[in-house]
Amino acid sequence: MSRLSPFNTAAERRPTPLSRRSFLGGIAATAAGAILAACGGSSATEAPKSATASAPTTATGASVVPAATTGAAVTSAPAQAAKNATTIKYMSWWWAETGRNTAWRNLVAKFHASQNDIRIQEVGFPFSEWSQQITTQLAGGGLDADCLSYADDLAPRLIKGNYLEPIDDVVAKLGIGDKLDKGLYQPATANGKLYGLLGVNVPYAVIYNTDLYAQNGITKPPSTIDETFASAKQLTKRPDLFGWAGRNTVQEQNGWFTDISHWVLAYDGVWVQDKKPMVTQAPVINAIKAYKRLYDEAMPQGADASTYRRLAWEGKVAQYLDNSANINILKTGNPAIYPKILTAAPPWPNKKSIASPSYLGVYAKSSKKDATKTWMEFVYKPENYTQLMKDALDIYPAYDGALNDPSYLKGLPWSTGFLEAKGISLLSMLSGLENNLAEARQIIISKISEVLTTGSTPEQAMGDAQKSLQDLASRVG
């Protein structure tokens, strides 16, 4: 398996694990605007709501990380800036992510100390607000940014709308053109030009607390769906301990859709295939039944991502399926719990789960492109990027050779499950309706919510959803 990408070797139209060379092939041509039509729940990586808001890094001030988000205040004093220093606005949801914000602020401090002419200013919002904020700014004429982070499903909209500047010159200066995983960079590539470098790639796996396992007679993580049900029930002692966790509120439909999509993958299903809704098929029905069973027997009900992640670092969630960025959230929220955390591949035979890369790009309308590219060159030098990976606890480097410490991954015992998971693009589960992800997601999640809260059966709810999805498919031509 490639250390650069979590995707394996099979590439088919149905969502099977994707190879390095075929990751998200074809999605970039069809996914324009899919995420922008609606705003949903917390990101895969968003910090719990109890965390203090991020402190800005300005052209003249130090970067201060609040104690509430890191366990201790961290202050980095940048080198004195020149009077005419250029201030770069870096727009990202990472400033609101516990742990990752510290990693980036450490890198900003190092950049400031290395020169006097450029300063980085934080601009951004939590991921739960990201789509809405980006949509609003674009509709208003432009982004308040010089560089920005963006996820794979937003890439086509930004590229086709000419909102991103090609960065092939940055790649050339770094000398990494032959070291990029072409499959992983497919979403950020168009017409032979590259529009971003990988910021993070987060696979999903089962995260579990070994102490809570031992205290409740569990000797190993589940490896089948039935074992998942059994262990989740055995571990649950409401309200003090939960044997499973996941989103289950409509307000967080983005993240909830990802959570339940894992279960559709578990039963080898898709939501839509070649524009034909598949939500009344057995894989989807079984996935909803499985999620409902866990909701009834093991989950904190009415929980958003912030809530269950806080419960996890408080030692009140024994196991849950989430992404690799959560390890840093757990460690930062409660350092004492970090040594107790391990992971396992998704507990079904195909080991499939969603994986989503995000990129760092240059805003095309920025008047400070040269300075922004200087910042990017600094970020992606191995001596700087390696420390960023370590601080963020990331496991997939941006390019072959970006990580210059081969011992790093060997020192992460929790990485095993993530590396064994077989990553799938969420958009590949809606083939033919990729551009209408937001509408399809709203239809599906609203009906799944009825199953959890009103007594509707999965068959009834998905029968209604099937009709609405068919109407959607006919409207979009």
State the Cα–Cα distance between residues 325 and 153, nearest whole angstrom.
18
Measuring CA to CA, how many Å separate 392 from each of 91, 199, 316, 338, 395? 18, 11, 24, 14, 9
- Per-residue pLDDT for 14 more than 60? no
pLDDT beyond 80 at 331? yes
**Greatest CA separation found in the chain?**
66
- Please give the helix or strand (H or E) that residue 266 lies within, else none: helix 253-266
Distance CA 442, CA 430 (A): 13
More confident residue, 152 or 62: 152
Whole-number pLDDT of residue 462: 98
Highest mean pLDDT among 25-34, 68-77, 399-408: 399-408
**Among 48, 115, 59, 128, residue whose Cα is nearest residue 90:** 59
Of residues 260 and 427, which shows the higher confidence score? 260
Counting every residue, how long is the chain? 477
Which tokens belong to 273?
């295939």
pLDDT for 110 beyond 90: yes
DSSP-assigned states of every residue in 412-465: -GGGHHHHHSEEE-GGGGBTT-GGGHHHHHHHHHHHHHHHHHT---HHHHHHHH
pLDDT tens digits along 290-302: 999 999 999 999 9
Q: What backbone torsions phi and psi does residue 188 show, to the nearest 5 degrees?
A: -100, 15
- pLDDT more than 70, % of the chain: 83
The domains located in the chain, with CATH, are 27-202+356-422 (3.40.190.10), 216-354+426-475 (3.40.190.10)
For 416-422, what is the mean pLDDT?
A: 95
Question: Can you give the pLDDT at residue 436?
Answer: 85
> Could you tell me if 244 and 319 are in contact, meaning their C-beta atoms sit under 8 angstroms apart?
yes
Query: Which residue from 189, 149, 185 is spatially nearest to 396, judged by alpha carbons?
Result: 185
